[in-house]
Chain A
Amino acid sequence: MLRIDNVNTHYGPIQALHDVSVEVKQGEIVTLIGANGAGKTTLMMTICGDPQATSGTITFDGEQISGIPTNKIMQKGLAIVPEGRRVFGGMTVEENLSMGGYFRDKAEAAETIEHVLELFPRLRERYSQRAGTMSGGEQQMLAIGRAMMSKPRMILLDEPSLGLAPIIIQQIFDIIQKLRDEGVTIFLVEQNANQALRIADRGYVLEHGHVVLEGSGADLLVNEDVQKAYLGG
């Protein structure tokens, strides 16, 4: 569904991704793990065209998306829950969600809002509250809900568990699995490698901008190098 072929990304003179190739198939949960600064966020954002890859190709559903503007890419059935959530703090829950469904038909977007609120009852309680005044966990739910608003076939999640209490993390992981069960393909970046690999069909390990390892979630969980570097074992 998503194919990343030999992608290189630079920030000015600094190269952040080196010949990265990753594939995410329809219906999968694929996770990307790696240390701080490995380039995980860069890969996520490169998929979205912000920054653009300097070379290599990215295709989504067979269509090349590398080289086209970010907002066009994001209208093709792809949505992102970015690092740090980036909810609109001065806007209410309702407004944040409506921004997520901006380019959709009004009636369809209203249906999706209803679906999001069913999935996250907390957001219904806070419907008219400004996002900036909500807790971290609530903001993360809002960021996920907002991504769902475009009715994407695939969602990219960049460290959704960052800074959250274990019980909230569990909820977030449950939601991710629920989304997959609804047919949404998931590409998940996590520092929380243990939990991520448990729910993932497959995983990739990124180090200094290189993919150094790939395999099924189960295999990576028991892999010695992975255990040493990312699972504290």
Chain B
Amino acid sequence: MTETSLYVIQQLINGLTIGSTYALIAIGYTMVYGIIGMINFAHGEIYMIGSYISFIVIAGLLGMGFISLPVILIVALIVAVVIASTYGWTIERVAYRPLRGSNRLIPLISAIGMSIFLQNYVALSQSSRDVALPPQITGGWTFGDPSVFEVSFSYMQLLIWSATLLVMVLLTLFISRSRMGRACRACSEDLGMTNLLGIDTNRIIALTFIVGAALAAIAGLLLGLYYGVVNPYIGFIAGLKAFTAAVLGGIGSIPGAMLGGLILGVTEAMTSAFFPSEYKDVVSFGLLVLILLFRPSGILGKPEVEKV
């Protein structure tokens, strides 16, 4: 194989890795939008908080002398998911629910305020500088001709791929089979009708915030381990990327968020393969503008029916 094609394969692997985490975060945007027609701009901050909690737990357990990595990761996962979900639930309860039924812009402004608040709250309580964690999962496979170009696929990337795949399968089962998951779909089709069936839709809405936050926290753990650093501002850009992914796939559609995340990740990786890597954000957000202009319903979304 030529150097270029090996390089493209490498970028594809990297792109799918980042793209899976975009997809995890994007699901939170898409589920909430699907039900209450609102963009939860504080969702990126939930991801950031998930990342911080994971770091604190991992560093803490290492400091206490734990050495079993799987145990450390599972504990970090559980703690991060529980705490991030609590944040997600609380934000909905205090900042969005009281505003429901008012003009659409008002919860949006509240969400932006919540996002700024969380960034500063973490910056003040944790310092605003980068926090680093030494790589926990090292090694991987390499293939290709070392004299031409060596493609590497790390264990960390494998973990991200498989964790994302597992989460997506579980989420799909939940949404299609479980009683509450079906109620989520009913709510996103017709919230008022779901209420008219005696279903407590406030609880279903709270549930979508919890599920979305849990997925963002998982992304926070995975990307935290992958990059090895966090700071209070990582939620902003990751949130925008995931939002772009959700719009690209069709906001409101869960398979769309999965697909959109992967496409966006690969697009970015390919862009940085052939252009200076600063261009990848330009391409991402350029893509967002293009979709909004020419196909606002995204790849898998239904054309917008005005929510009443």
Complex formed: what's the CA distance from A102 to B201 in Å? 12
Q: Report the minimal beta-carbon distance from A227 to chain B, rounded to whole angstroms.
A: 34
A98 near B198 with CB under 8 A, answer no
Instruction: Report yes or no: A102 in contact with B189, Cβ–Cβ below 8 A.
Output: no
Digit string of B168-195 for contact with A (CB within 8 Å is 1, else 0)?
A: 0000000000010011011001101111
A75–B198 contact, CB under 8 A? Answer: yes
Asked if B197 and A82 sit within 8 Å, CB to CB, the answer is: no
Q: Does B185 lie within 8 Å of A102, measured CB to CB?
A: no
Check if A86 sits within 8 Å of B190, measured CB to CB.
yes
A86 to B187, CA, bound (A): 12
The interface size of chain A toward B, counting residues with CB under 8 Å, comes to: 23
A99 and B182 within 8 A (CB) = yes
Number of A-B contacts (CB under 8 A): 61
CB distance from B36 to the nearest CB of A (A): 16
Chain B residues within 8 Å of A70, by CB: 195-196
The answer to the question of A114 belonging to the interface, with a C-beta cut-off of 8 Å to chain B, is no
Is B199 an interface residue, CB under 8 A from the partner? yes
C-alpha gap A153/B51 in the complex (Å): 52
A90 contacts chain B at the CB level, 8 A cutoff = yes
User: Does A173 belong to the interface (CB within 8 Å)?
Assistant: no
Contact between chains at B185 and A91 (CB < 8 Å): yes
CB within 8 Å of B: which of A91-129? 91, 95, 98-100, 102-103
Q: Which residue of B lies closest to A102 (CB)?
A: B199
Q: Is the CB of A98 within 8 A of B193?
A: no
Q: Which residues of B contact A (CB under 8 A)?
A: 179, 182-183, 185-186, 189-190, 192-201
| 13 more A-B residue pairs beyond the given contacts A86-B190, A103-B199, with a C-beta to C-beta distance below 8 A | A48-B196, A50-B196, A71-B198, A74-B197, A74-B198, A86-B196, A88-B186, A88-B190, A89-B189, A95-B182, A95-B185, A100-B197, A102-B199
Hey, which bits of chain A sit against chain B, CB under 8 A? Answer: 48, 50, 70-72, 74-75, 79-80, 82, 86, 88-91, 95, 98-100, 102-103, 146, 150
